[in-house]
Amino acid sequence: MLDPSSSPQGAGPSTGTRRYSRRRLLGYGASAMALAGLPGLARAVTNYKGLDVIVVGAGLSGLHAACLLQEQGLNVLTLEGRNRIGGRVYTLMDVPGRPEAGGEWMGANYARMIDTARRLGLEMLGPDEVSDIREWCYRIRGEYILAADWPDHPLNPMQGDDRQVLPNRMLFTLSHKNNPLSGQPLDAWIRPEFARFDIPQTQYLKEYLGFNEETIRLMNVVIHTDHMDNTSALHEMRRYAVGEFSARLAESRPDLPAWRQIKGGNSRLPEAMAASLENPVELNKTVYAFEDSGGEVTAHCMDGTRYTARQVICSMPYPVLRKVKFAPRLPQRMERAIEEIDYGTSIQVHFLLRKRFWEIDEMPASMWTDEPFERFGVHRRGPNGEATSAVAFINGNEAYKYDLMNDEQVVEFTVRALERARPSLKGALEPIGIQSCHREVHGGGDWVFWRPGQVGRFAGQMREAHGNIHFAGEHTALLERGMEGAFESGERAAVDALLRV
Ligand SMILES: Cc1cc2nc3c(=O)[nH]c(=O)nc-3n(C[C@H](O)[C@H](O)[C@H](O)COP(=O)(O)OP(=O)(O)OC[C@H]3O[C@@H](n4cnc5c(N)ncnc54)[C@H](O)[C@@H]3O)c2cc1C
């Protein structure tokens, strides 16, 4: 997310797994999770000679699980398919200003994540200190519109007070009206009484909230799923309910920033977590099969190596898990969930800036548009808020067409579209890279989402273990979403594995 206020939640990274001192290790060890005193633990630690648990995936969920289990004295090894730590948390360390190319903003509700960062001695910054994108201009149906002109603009399709809502805030603000999940516990979205909202989001916006076609079209531009027709309204309601929870917490602590990032880049957090592990994370270990003998599980890696432990925690996203073999086979219902559940798509094209193009046309540098590049944001992460780099950030339905282009074509297409829309950009853009989890073998997409009907079919059962294999990852979180959801899921899977060791 480029702008935390528009969301309910918001090259060459270090791949090393630097080991921390025992003191640092104990820092994680003091964590809030109440694992101590669970049955069988002492026996497991003292009697078992090999690995107790293998964690697959060194994203936030896997690392949190590994750290918590180590804290309980277990012998844990983490296998990671990529050549870096962090998964969908990925700071572009070599780009000026170190922009985030993955998980970006922590809300006030990110208790586990904030707690972990503090324990590992990492500082956090609020939006003002990050000095990132603040002001947008809008380009809709080929016309530039300034924020101040939007409420009275003829292209504004909304009625009454809604006309004040800026285009980049429409999806969040308008969808949240009369949210049936508002004020409910965070797990209410899977309760049967709300199943009637497991319908297409577009249908809900029309039938329940009465929005017109153009309002819905604009709400559908920057969407963290696929397309509103293919998104369950219940999924979106849950998103807004979690956002509301976060906002309430933020209001109760006005002395703290409502949104945070890790100083120096969010990747520092998973890297510090990995560094606190006694067994260094094994990188470039892509697991392609699990064999559960009943007493132990073997994980088979693409490089021919095998690792065996009593329990496994698997944090791979579903699009990757589709290609992984399980013996014995997964239950049919689980196989169907893995096959059918999808992740929101996005692609980012990053640029250095050769000139201050906004001084030529005297408009805000960043643009929110209904053009093929959707959002173009200028990061202002220099010491005095100077522009450091820029990104074209395409989400959802529009991002799919980029699947049919190679990287060069993506850059060429994006630059052409940007220059056509804003002539002052001619000669201003120096492309430096593309980032898309969706395009990566170990990724599959940004965030999990549910299509109409899928909440009822799958959301209740995604946390079930398969023999000695436990599933983590933000897609299995029940309460929180995104990075905090990853932490929640890692904690739950760690408890499940601990109870079985
Ligand atoms: C562009 C973008 C913006 C985002 N913005 C936000 C935000 O502002 N706030 C927020 O809260 N969340 C945000 N998110 C979502 C958030 O980053 C993720 O939900 C979270 O990081 C997921 O963590 P995870 O551990 O569940 O999964 P992952 O981080 O995907 O971890 C899974 C790990 O498993 C590894 N792996 C995969 N397959 C294999 C295999 N076969 N063998 C071995 N290892 C394997 C992967 O390489 C990865 O390291 C964003 C995500 C993206 C992509």
Sheet with 124-125, side-by-side order of all strands: 106-107, 259-262, 124-125
Cα(480) to ligand 1 centroid in Å equals: 14
pLDDT at 48: 36
Strands 342-343 and 297-301: unpaired
Helix axes 268-275, 111-119, angle to 10 degrees: 60
User: Can you tell me the distance from the alpha carbon of 44 to that of 240, in angstroms, rounded to the nearest whole number?
Assistant: 42
DSSP 406: -
Structure tokens at 287: 């697991």
Cis upstream peptide for 328 (omega within 30°):
yes
Element (H, E) at 320: helix 318-321
* 500 contacts: CB under 8 Å, gap ≥ 6: 310, 311, 465, 468
User: Can you tell me the distance from the alpha carbon of 402 to that of 345, in angstroms, rounded to the nearest whole number?
Assistant: 10
pLDDT at 134: 73
Three-state SS for 111-145 is HHHHHHHHHCCCCEECHHHHCCCCCEEEEECCEEE
pLDDT at 130: 85
User: Which atom of ligand 1 has the smallest separation from the CA of 483?
Assistant: 11
Total residues belonging to the chain: 501
User: Can you tell me the distance from the alpha carbon of 456 to that of 341, in angstroms, rounded to the nearest whole number?
Assistant: 12
Strands 325-327 and 297-301: unpaired
The 10 Å CB-count burial string (b at 16+, else e) for 447-470 is bbbbbbebbbbbbeebbebbbbbb
- Across the chain, which has 501 residues, the per-10-residue mean pLDDT values are 41 28 38 37 42 98 98 97 98 96 97 98 92 86 97 97 96 90 96 97 96 96 92 95 95 93 97 97 98 96 96 98 97 96 96 97 96 95 91 93 94 97 98 94 94 95 96 98 98 97 92
**In this structure, are residues 142 and 210 in contact, taking their beta carbons and an 8 Å threshold?**
no
The model's pTM: 0.91
User: Can you tell me the distance from the alpha carbon of 334 to that of 332, in angstroms, rounded to the nearest whole number?
Assistant: 5
Query: Of all protein residues, whose CA lies closest to atom 50 belonging to ligand 1?
Result: 103
Query: Of all protein residues, whose CA lies closest to atom 34 belonging to ligand 1?
Result: 57
pLDDT at 9: 38
pLDDT at 43: 34
**Ramachandran class of 86: left when φ > 0, alpha when ψ lies in -120 to 50, beta otherwise:** left
User: Can you tell me the distance from the alpha carbon of 479 to that of 291, in angstroms, rounded to the nearest whole number?
Assistant: 31
Structure tokens at 81: 């398919």
Strands 306-314 and 51-56: parallel
List residues near ligand 1 (CB under 6 A): 1, 9-10, 56-62, 79-82, 87-89, 102-105, 285-287, 315-317, 320, 346, 437, 442, 446-447, 473-474, 482-484, 486
Element (H, E) at 489: helix 482-500
Tell me the CB-side half-sphere exposure of residue 404, using CA atoms within 13 A. Answer: 3
User: Which atom of ligand 1 has the smallest separation from the CA of 346?
Assistant: 1
**In this structure, are residues 164 and 173 in contact, taking their beta carbons and an 8 Å threshold?**
no
Handedness of CA 99, 409, 421, 211 (dihedral sign): negative
Strands 389-395 and 429-435: unpaired
Helices (H) and strands (E) in the chain, counts: 16, 19
Ligand 1 pocket test, candidate residues 290, 316, 438, most atoms within 8 A of CB: 316
